[in-house]
Structure 1
């Protein structure tokens, strides 16, 4: 999820240490183009944005200018520019048009028929009395349904063909049902939010209300019921969630990586989640919203020890360790071996007990802090006059487990670099079980640390004997106004009892009344 967010990022070139209030604040043209929620806190706020879920950035178009200008002339462009409304192409004056409204209408029709580039935009500016045509790169475009004579061009039969797989997104554009507009052309358009609101004056219709948000924010169930500051925090915590970041994680040597042992797909989720088809991150938990003997004051959480014993929140932490046999001048080089006792800086024999004859630890060895993973000796920095290298002059430079860390050797990789130097990489894993002080969060920006782990016998239970996994403080809800979290709790319970996935898509998900009727 963090990778997808990174690919959708749009950064401003303005310095972050200056105020630049107008550059940081939201602008009406950002609607449907940039996510109004997802932006970092601190000096980068507002300067680093993310594209909305359906928005795209215009790219270079292969345009035959001679043919293009001849098409313009056939539609009423006068290259001499003697009279009429001035026409500009990418900021360059190319002529004038006597009947500007008819000229603009014909150009739009040609674009919709794909006779002109789909990413080309045209606008009749009534204030300055000119026509602006643009095919420049770097413009934020967003798709809209075309409305004609007060009716949407996108009909139910088109949606059925989409569901059956007969239609694709490109077909919608080819069939003149959807077109991309930049902020300039949208100035002269009238967009309806819902189909019921369409009047003869409307020119376009929104595809879905969720296209206001970016990819990450659109995954928050019932996100339209939350406060914006909480949604901002929730979008960040979603990207930090533990899960399965890659299917081939066992073969990779990424630095500081955690893998959740039992990741789950959410019971209440946005339809965007199924569309992305990402690897699951996070877990579904039974939550009780109540106080418990003061141990969940403020943002503290009370966890059920029985749930922790059954595997909730367990993860593996992976860390790679590597050593290289470097070659030096004078035929000197490092050696990956078990260091001999006379070596300078020799540790205790117990520290080398897991090394095999080749100086490398064996897989599945249980390593504690300070114990050696890869045995290695290096030549001295300065040679004596005799230029002799003995055991005593060799320096111990083994790779050890970090202090306050422990783990099991997951895998050992031996290879060579371009220069022929031997490389040994050892990957360790450590089982992490949630304990007091560990942080947990929901996608609504409600975060807290474990304040107490209570034995299962002391956890409150319902009339049917159900005990919660987590006890959450109710005082964290009114002030933060995360109504979407309450709706998700209600929907999650309905989903569990009915055995079905609940649609929690912002703006269009199952309402409270629909959930109650189930």
Structure 2
């Protein structure tokens, strides 16, 4: 009963839905894994669903109302009932495995898994290694925060000086411990110590964290109707029916007409009948379950045949003018969770080449102020802010007053001179380091860029 493109979307999102992907997940060491707590079989099921998904369910049956809610569920925003979340709806556990290997290098050089000594290069603090046991590996069921050490490890230096050639002293080792990723936290679920195929010692630490639905988490029904949580409302403020039933989820009515997901409406009606009479077989081309038969079944149960009910505003207690479609629906939590994506930065690392902030969440990177953002600042006339933002890589460069080329500063001898005209009349000019790089690029192409000072 859905358009073809919505069927494709629905199938794609079913692949992203959390469930019980395997029954032995607690003994596995997958790099990343999400496991749904309290998964259920859908009330409205199909033949394929029974054959394949009853053993590995990937969603929960919830009460859904299709109505507007004070403008908070515009543009695929979803309004959630806070009490439903507290009762366990949409909860999942996220597992991440950290792998540490004692690698072997040239000659007798190799890594060592142990608590690093204070003499090691890059030693953190005593508190950082407080959770490690005597063998340098963390214990189970320990709470860990971002930056905590899971496995202590020391490695040989990458580069040897003339004095240190191939010495195995502790002072000539560096700290390469495995730490919790930036922005993550959890509890150590499992620790496995084994060997690689080459006979190197291998430690695997599995960290688990409970994920409770929060603003920005993505959910979807089986009809390609995806959305993110826009508001979590206390149960007492949610609309309610004459029987006192409050919905778990409120979906915007504008999500249905243009997308023509009639299957979504039929599922709610069928779910209502199925909740009283048992599972509904909604397999394709099953002629025993039709819109007419579902309408008749609802009438026989004492409901309106279109599934609508009289509802009241939870805040004012006033009756809504229109009847509202409400009933059970199978809902899936997708692995796009805001906890995995949220990112901000005030200060942090910069790249060696451009002296600008690094890119990407994993590297604690900055958020790029692009051309279009620049146009907004220009339109607002914020000249000083524009200059300040574009000077994140501000540098002071010595420039020759005679020829306008970038000069050389010899800090060991305390001299400044121009390598082109050999004069020493040098002035400091503030500029973006990216501009200095552009000057270097032009020189490579045989162009002679002069700076007038």
Tell me if TM exceeds 0.5: yes
| Residue 64 (structure 1) aligns with | none
Q: 1:373 aligns with which of 147, 150, 170?
A: 150
Alignment match, 1:71: none
Residue 81 of structure 2 corresponds to residue 307 of structure 1 = no
Structure 1 counterpart of 2:34, from 258, 264, 268: 258
User: By how many angstroms is 1:342 displaced?
Assistant: 1.7
> Counterpart in 2 of 1:122?
none
Contact 2:121–2:174 (Cα < 8 Å) also in 1 = yes
Deviates more, 1:342-351 or 1:286-295: 342-351
- The structural deviation recorded for 1:505 is 0.9
Contact 2:154–2:176 (Cα < 8 Å) also in 1: yes
**Which segments of structure 1 move beyond 4 Å, counting only runs of 4 or more?**
none
Q: What is the 5 A alignment of 1:24-423?
A: 225-276=1-52, 277-383=54-160, 384-385=162-163, 387-423=166-202
**How far apart, CA to CA, are the structure 1 residues paired with 2:79 and 2:159?**
59
Give the conservation status (yes or no) of the 8 Å contact 2:95–2:209: yes
After the TM superposition, which of the residue ranges 388-397 and 280-289 deviates more from structure 2?
388-397
TM-score with structure 1 length normalisation? 0.55
Equivalent of 2:286, from 503, 508, 511? 508
Q: Secondary structure at the match of 1:284?
A: strand
- Specify the SS of the correspondent of 1:253: coil
Counterparts of 2:116 and 2:136, CA distance in 1: 8
Deviations 1:201-232 (A, max 9, x none): xxxxxxxxxxxxxxxxxxxxxxxx11111111
CA distance in 1, matches of 2:56, 2:216: 27
Contact 2:31/2:96 (8 A) holds in 1: yes
Name the structure 2 match of 1:173: none
Structure 1 stretches lacking a partner, 5+ long: 1-224
Higher relative CO (Cα under 8 Å, sequence separation at least 6) belongs to 2
The aligned residue for residue 23 of structure 1 is: none
> How do residues 455-494 of structure 1 correspond to structure 2 at under 5 angstroms?
455-494=234-273
**Aligned residues of 2:31 and 2:98 also touching (Cα < 8 A):** no
1:515 positional shift:
1.9
SS in 1 for 2:51: helix
The answer as to 2:205 corresponding to 1:426 is: yes
Quote the Cα distance in structure 1 between the aligned partners of 2:127 and 2:70.
47
1:449 aligns with 2:221: no
Give 1:317 shift. 0.7
Q: Distance in 2 between the 1:438 and 1:274 partners? A: 28
Distance apart, 1:517 and its partner CA:
3.1
Shift of 1:353: 1.5
* Alpha-carbon distance, 1:381 to partner: 2.3
Pairwise CA distance, 1:244: 0.4
> In 2, Cα distance between the equivalents of 1:484 and 1:463?
26
Displacement of 1:493 in angstroms is 1.3
Q: Equivalents in 1 of 2:280, 2:167: separation in Å?
A: 75
TM-score, normalised on structure 2? Answer: 0.63
Check the 8 A contact 2:68/2:252 in 1, yes or no.
yes
SS at match of 1:333: coil
SS at structure 1 position matched to 2:112 = coil
Unaligned runs of 5+ in 2: 298-453
Offset of residue 390 of structure 1: 2.4
Counterpart contact for 2:43–2:279, Cα < 8 Å: yes
